[in-house]
Amino acid sequence: MATANSGSTGTSTTTTVTGDAPDPGPTIFVLFGATGDLAKRMVLPAFYKLWLEHLLPKDWLLVGNGRGDVAHEDFRAHFHDVLEEFGPKPDPAQWQDFSQRVYFAGGGFNTDDPGSLLDNLAKAKERLGGSPQLIHYLAVPPVAFTELTQALGQHGLAEGARVVYEKPFGTSQQNFEQLDQVVHSVLDESQVYRIDHFLGKEATQDLHVLRFANGLFAAMWSSEHIESVQIDVPETLDIDDRAGFYDATGAVLDMLVTHLFQVAAEVAMEPPASLDANDLQAARETVIRCFRPIDPKDVVLGQYEGYRDVPGIDKNSNQNTYVAARLWIDNDRWRGVPFYLRTGKRLAESKQVVSIILREPDGPLAGKLEADSNVLSFSLSGDGEIDVMLVAKKPGPALVTEEARAAIPLAGLDGADPLPPYVRLIHDVIIGDRSLFTRPDGLAAVWEVSAPLLNHPPAVVPYPQGSWGPAEAAKLVEPDHWLLGQ
């Protein structure tokens, strides 16, 4: 249930926006790539959290799928080890109840050979009874999407099912178009859930709530009052055991054309007719079609020193691990306002921040204020936080101005029950809410926007680990500067 709550102290007012969904009925979750890195870090912990929060259907079973011949007990032990490492740590009594609903179907799954999946699903359906809902989660590299989708249709597992695709949905414009054609030859669009976990973050959702529910912000949300926007997602993380995937993808495909473009659309979209799924999706996709195709001259690509020494990385790899880009949106609201997007691996800090930088107001203090003194920021990490940087008079006999900061931790709102992004989004799949998932028309526009960069990328320049990336990125935002790392 989504609520809006005002006031962390004193009297609070809560407005219910959407109601609780009814139990969706018996459900079988099929997790492809169940022993892979994505499942380990994100999907399996999220699934257990859903169970702890009583957000799974009353009757459910989880069937993992992979190429290996793994016994049910061994997969359960793997699942338990995953939770010990990434959380939530399982309570022994609770785990005993949970694990008995978890199974594994080995032997892979493709159009020629379904492995043991069909047999395991038949047993699962017999255990649950009736005609349970099927939810397929493709936690596999994009190269496997086409074959798995066709196999779902070939083996009778597509009708009425919901299918979750991880990003990136395609690796180029041509590949996206081919994949989209295959998907729609097997599935209706209403069955498709293209996940982008940045859209599931509490603070990302609060972007449009803060704007549309508060006249103070709605009135200033345009080029008249906004000088620039920064969407900054630096990471201290390495590529860990994602080497094969990352060397084929890089920061541009892994982050820029997926997460950062989607967040930019959340910031820039016109007010939707409602916050229902169709209206939210339509508003997001409409503004993406106003993104100006990226000029490679407006992009800096980097690779951290030592990347080629990572096991599994080509010794001559020229893959980017860093990207900073300037994006323009050609519509009346945003024309002339630069959107600066930045992300990279092995940088100085890990942050996820959207910053709305306001123009200096005209009047008696014009030209006398410190830079960055009028900024509205959203921290997307963790449970989310809204920060307002403003100017106030410092108490005392003289007129001395000073920057002041007001912070609103979203988890501190009365009755807040924040959900991690994957937990939120998988729950949305369960209840059939597609509002935070991407549509093919918007993705087609994203590939068109990205085409000049992908076809003619600038040279990849090295940067030291633990730095803020290539020095060239500072020149990209001149006469502005990056708020982080200064």
Which residues belong to the active site? 259
Nearest of 354, 30, 420, 428 to residue 195 by alpha carbon: 428
Beta carbons within 8 Å of 437's beta carbon, 6+ residues apart: 192, 193, 194, 195, 196, 199, 281, 425, 428
**Rg (the chain; Cα; Å):** 24
Interatomic CA distance for residues 231 and 217, integer angstroms = 18
Nearest of 239, 469, 240, 246 to residue 347 by alpha carbon: 469
Interatomic CA distance for residues 319 and 247, integer angstroms = 6
Which uninterrupted H or E stretch holds 117?
A: helix 117-128
CB of 226 within 8 A of CB of 295? no
Interatomic CA distance for residues 203 and 210, integer angstroms = 10
Interatomic CA distance for residues 442 and 167, integer angstroms = 14
Instruction: Tell me if residue 358 falls in helix, strand or coil.
Output: strand
Interatomic CA distance for residues 440 and 151, integer angstroms = 21
Q: What is the DSSP letter of 2?
A: -
